[in-house]
């Protein structure tokens, strides 16, 4: 039946979002029960989407500018992400949806919000796909000079689009093993690092005093610690993949609650713990530039591990392709979810017999392919750099949308509905205010540096370009049929 435009009144969230816990319509046309993701897949998919080169390599830049207090920067950034995950978990535990925060923004704020946050999120991951493909191709070229970097990048894109197309379980199993390699490497790093710091490792000495010597714990002041949070925050972006993946798991409601409660703590342990190991074992002002040697490689060499450089190069390569794999999943699922709500071409929502949105996977990879080709064919055009910079604020946009949506939906609840929540945000709405204030503060900090201003400007430009198409999309929504999920609920 035809439908009227979707209401955003206070009563609509009660009936639409909170009235159908785990309903069958929440995840339509998905894979068969035996083909869905298992709990171990969901956990590793989340870790795979977050733990990448930003930890193994990029963390050195934060430490070299902040000192031992870099651990505080990572802790503060992780706490902001944890609050956002808790809010997302509260909404998702009531109604699992592959579209995740995009779907909840549609319900709580309206179609315009879903359109903006969904497309920006897709755009972000397309940029990530291109970036990881370029980095991975470069690493292949460094090992095998006969293989051009562009050929290595195209090979990686082909491999992981195929992995995602075969089946959901194929993607999950691949990501499980790729992420497992990273997790094992970090666990070994943390255990060996703790022993080394306390002088319990062969040929090691007590080194905890590196935390306060060499200029103090905050050698460059508290301001640098706070400004580093802006950079750190983007390292954590991708945690929300847990909720998207859990919606396609064997037990969506339980999986989402477990992911929202535990995943970010594991990620923070890996990030904050690794930073503490590095700044404890090596004086912050003596840490080599990542262009010379990655911090993890430097530390493993200190441990006396034979072939440390080769081992860590393989681990870092695994991290790169793991993020490429999970990024392809994230982009395709968001693209398909947009199509299901008629915010993207309807054909993109079609799934294969194995429950894979094939066209969404291919289209997302093509977007990454175009950006990758541009990087090699026209490196001086600035297009690739624009794509990379213009995704800079997407993480903040997503977290703010999650915060405002959860605030709106919680306000619309009856006391009985609020009491029945299986996962609840604490200190509501104060944590919402804290997160929004934190996002505003981070933007203000970014405006104080040339690179930060570039990211803010290009992100706003990309968002403005996206909004040019909204009037046409809105007219299509007003004169067309309701989305599949909406129709099923209207006829219930």
pLDDT for residue 99: 64
Tell me if 322 is assigned to some domain: yes
CB neighbour list of residue 109: distance below 8 Å, 6 or more residues apart: 8, 401, 404, 405, 408
Tell me if 23 is assigned to some domain: no
- CB distance 29 to 351 below 8 Å: yes
Q: How many CB atoms lie within 10 A of CB 184?
A: 11
Angle at 39 between CA 37 and CA 45, to 5 degrees: 70
Q: Determine the Cα–Cα distance for residues 152 and 364; give it in Å rounded to an integer.
A: 19
Type and span of the H or E element at 64: helix 59-66
Start-end of H helices in 294-343: 295-303, 308-340
Tell me if 80 is assigned to some domain: yes
Profile the chain (492 residues) by mean pLDDT over runs of 10 residues: 35 43 43 67 74 82 91 89 86 74 88 92 88 89 93 93 90 89 90 91 86 90 83 78 78 72 76 93 90 87 87 90 90 91 90 89 88 80 69 82 93 87 87 91 84 84 90 85 44 36
Enclosing domain of residue 400: 31-490
CATH code of the domain containing 271:
1.20.1740.10
Tell me if 24 is assigned to some domain: no
DSSP string, 390-418: TTTTHHHHHHHHHHHHHHHHHHT--HHHH
Cα four-point dihedral sign 446, 452, 457, 460 = negative
pLDDT for residue 12: 41
Tell me if 9 is assigned to some domain: no
> The whole model's pTM is what?
0.83
Number of domains in the chain: 1
In the numeric block, which tokens belong to residue 91? 């909404």
pLDDT for residue 151: 93
- CB distance 138 to 149 below 8 Å: yes
Tell me if 7 is assigned to some domain: no
pLDDT for residue 14: 41
pLDDT for residue 23: 37
Tell me if 475 is assigned to some domain: yes
pLDDT for residue 103: 86
**Integer-rounded Cα radius of gyration of the chain:** 22
pLDDT for residue 192: 92
Tell me if 239 is assigned to some domain: yes
Q: Determine the Cα–Cα distance for residues 309 and 89; give it in Å rounded to an integer.
A: 39
């Amino acid at each position: 039946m035809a439908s009227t435009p979707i209401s955003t009144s206070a009563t609509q969230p009660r009936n639409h979002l909170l009235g159908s816990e785990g309903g069958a319509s929440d995840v339509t046309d998905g894979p068969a029960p035996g083909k869905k993701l298992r709990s171990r897949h969901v956990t590793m998919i989340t870790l795979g989407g977050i733990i990448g080169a930003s930890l193994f390599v990029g963390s050195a830049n934060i430490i070299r500018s902040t000192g031992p207090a870099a651990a505080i920067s990572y802790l503060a950034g992780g706490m902001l992400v944890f609050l956002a995950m808790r809010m997302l978990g509260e909404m998702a535990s009531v109604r699992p949806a592959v579209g995740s925060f995009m779907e909840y923004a549609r319900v709580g704020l309206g179609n315009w919000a879903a359109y903006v946050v969904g497309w920006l999120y897709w755009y972000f991951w397309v940029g990530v796909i291109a970036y990881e493909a370029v980095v991975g191709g470069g690493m292949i070229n460094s090992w095998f000079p006969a293989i051009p970097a562009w050929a290595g990048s195209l090979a990686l894109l082909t491999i992981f689009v195929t992995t995602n197309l075969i089946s959901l379980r194929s993607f999950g199993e691949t990501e499980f093993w790729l992420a497992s390699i990273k997790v094992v490497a970090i666990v070994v790093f943390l255990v060996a690092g703790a022993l080394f710091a306390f002088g319990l490792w062969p040929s090691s000495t007590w080194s905890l005093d590196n935390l306060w010597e060499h200029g103090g714990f905050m050698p460059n002041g508290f301001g640098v610690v706070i400004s580093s949070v802006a950079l750190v925050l983007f390292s954590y972006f991708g945690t929300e993949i847990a909720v998207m993946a859990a919606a396609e798991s064997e037990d969506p409601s339980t999986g989402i609650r477990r992911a929202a409660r535990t995943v970010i703590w594991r990620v923070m342990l890996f990030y904050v713990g690794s930073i503490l190991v590095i700044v404890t074992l090596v004086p912050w002002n003596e840490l080599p530039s990542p262009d010379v040697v990655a911090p993890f490689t430097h530390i493993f060499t200190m441990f006396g591990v034979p072939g440390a450089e080769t081992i860590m190069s393989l681990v870092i390569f695994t991290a790169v392709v793991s993020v490429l794999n999970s990024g392809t999943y994230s982009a395709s699922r968001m693209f398909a979810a947009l199509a299901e709500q008629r915010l993207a071409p309807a054909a993109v929502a079609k799934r294969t017999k194995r429950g894979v949105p094939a066209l969404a996977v291919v289209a997302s990879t093509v977007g990454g392919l175009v950006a990758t080709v541009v990087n090699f064919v026209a490196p001086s055009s600035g297009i690739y750099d624009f794509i990379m910079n213009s995704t800079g604020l997407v993480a903040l946009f997503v977290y703010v949308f999650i915060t405002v949506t959860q605030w709106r939906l919680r306000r619309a609840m009856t006391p009985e509905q609020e009491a029945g929540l299986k996962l609840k945000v604490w200190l509501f709405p104060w944590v919402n205010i804290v997160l929004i204030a934190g996002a505003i503060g981070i933007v203000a900090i970014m405006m104080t540096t040339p690179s930060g201003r570039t990211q803010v400007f290009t992100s706003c430009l990309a968002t403005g370009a996206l909004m040019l198409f909204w009037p046409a999309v809105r007219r299509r929504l007003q004169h067309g049929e309701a989305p599949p999920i909406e129709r099923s609920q209207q006829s219930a």
